[in-house]
Structure 1
Amino acid sequence: MASILIEGRTIENTIHGTQLLFSYGFYGFLAALIFIYILKLISPTIYFESNRRYAIIFISTLGFSLISAASASFINHYFSEETEKSNEYLITRKSVSGKRNNNHLLFLEIEKNSEERIEISENLYDQVNVGEKAILSTKKGFLGYLVVIHVKSKD
């Protein structure tokens, strides 16, 4: 759980980050199934009690999925290319989410009919308007997903 909390903002500011989350989360789920099967081969008695069986299956699948997705996100941004590219994108929406820390979000049209949500600072949120363009500086990540480094208004 902690791993996804640490990498959550990085996944949020990755172009197609949801795709990264679900695809690598699925790989973690498959690894959990293999782990559960091996655990059953090594110690079949561990599954005799139903509460323990359900806890092992639930915690393993959830844990492996989250750790896999967070690890993929970390590898993608930590080992990204050095060169930054800047592109302009249309701001389709903006909103504030969260009750405690008020995350400021921009929704940008990355591709035709494809919208991405990017977390930004409150100052930048106040500077930009829907219908304007924002400049995103990105780096190509190790796994091929673009990592957002900076967001600026077009002014």
Structure 2
Amino acid sequence: MKIKKTIPNPVSNETSELWKEFFKRLLYIGLCIIIICLFANNNDAFRLVPLPFLFIALYQIIAIIKVCEYLINEYFPLKTPSNKIAKPLDKFFHYFALTIFFSGLLGLIFEIRNFDRTINGAVFFRNTCFIGIGIGIAFAVLLKILSPSVYDENNRRYTVISGFILGFFLLTPSVSSFVNHTLADEQRVCKNFTITETRITKKRSKEYFVYLDMEDHRNERFSVNKNKTFYKGEQIELCILKGRLGYDYVVEFNKMTK
């Protein structure tokens, strides 16, 4: 009776190691984000604690991008030499993915300030980022089904997949913010809140922030006009518009007269 020997599959083992590396890096990023959030609002000696963890997180992101390239090669194997002339439709999706990425990057640069004027702006930003990642993955998978030749060339497939995922990750929050405050209800509602803290960034172009005790008893940060001086403990009036996507947008900060 012959005994069949099981020969280990080196490709499968390598892929398993890549996934382990991917999730390990992802765990490191999560831990860095937790530490950064814990010390983000400190004004004392601990205010510099998040800085090294920010650089560690950025390094882990770069490492993940490298791992992702190998994983993409595994699940979308190369079929076409890079010097072969691409189909017009494949070229279109290649440049379309790049357009989505740079549009999202540019849009977020212009819209990031408006998140500081949106009540629950951090939650709004986080939710739309996750939605954007989902949209990007859905686009990449749908393209694999409808036009698989897009992924036949190495450089193009990596550009398309990363362009869609990162692009919609940036584009979705910027478009959502724009729609939320641009198409908001015209009727203003003004409410008074107590300032729990004020802060000025130590930059060449100073930014002024106030932290307010909101209706649900949590502190929230807002960017305010530098021409108005606000102090801890005083009342401030916020004039609010109901955003189109359900997130209230602050259009005016008024100093209460005594």
Question: Do both proteins adopt the same fold according to a TM-score greater than 0.5, normalized to the shorter chain?
Answer: yes
Structure 1 vs Structure 2 CA RMSD: 1.8
Number of equivalenced pairs: 152
SS of alignment partner, residue 89 of structure 1: strand
CA contact 2:150–2:157 (8 Å) conserved in 1 = no
Q: Which has the higher strand share?
A: 1
If you compute each CA radius of gyration, which structure gives the higher value, 1 or 2?
Answer: 2
- 1:16 pairs, out of 85, 108, 120, with 120
Deviation sequence 1:16-53 (CA, Å, 0-9, x none): 1111111122111111001111222313562653x655
For residues 98 and 72 of structure 1, what CA distance do their matches in structure 2 show? 30
Q: Determine if the alignment matches structure 1 residue 46 to structure 2 residue 151.
A: yes
Partner of 1:135: 237
- 1:106 pairs, out of 183, 188, 210, with 210
Q: Which amino acid aligns with 1:117?
A: R
Partner of 2:85: none
Ranges in structure 1 where 5+ consecutive residues have no aligned partner: none
Identity of aligned residues (%): 28
CA contact 1:40–1:47 (8 Å) conserved in 2 = no
Partner of 2:139: 35
Distance 1:83 1:68, change over 3 A: same
Q: Determine if the alignment matches structure 1 residue 145 to structure 2 residue 247.
A: yes
Distance 1:98 1:2, change over 3 A: farther
Distance 1:138 1:47, change over 3 A: farther
> Offset of 1:98 from its aligned partner?
6.0
Distance 1:24 1:98, change over 3 A: farther
Partner of 1:91: 195
Q: Which has the higher helix share?
A: 2
TM-score (norm 2): 0.55
Answer 1 or 2: higher relative contact order, Cα 8 Å, separation at least 6.
Answer: 1
Ranges in structure 2 where 5+ consecutive residues have no aligned partner: 1-104
Q: Which amino acid aligns with 1:141?
A: G
Partner of 2:94: none
CA contact 2:195–2:231 (8 Å) conserved in 1 = yes
Partner of 1:67: 171
Deviation sequence 1:84-112 (CA, Å, 0-9, x none): 11111111111122634221111111134
For residues 91 and 37 of structure 1, what CA distance do their matches in structure 2 show? 48
CA contact 1:128–1:153 (8 Å) conserved in 2 = yes
CA contact 1:27–1:68 (8 Å) conserved in 2 = yes
> Offset of 1:65 from its aligned partner?
1.6
Partner of 1:4: 108
Q: Which amino acid aligns with 1:138?
A: I
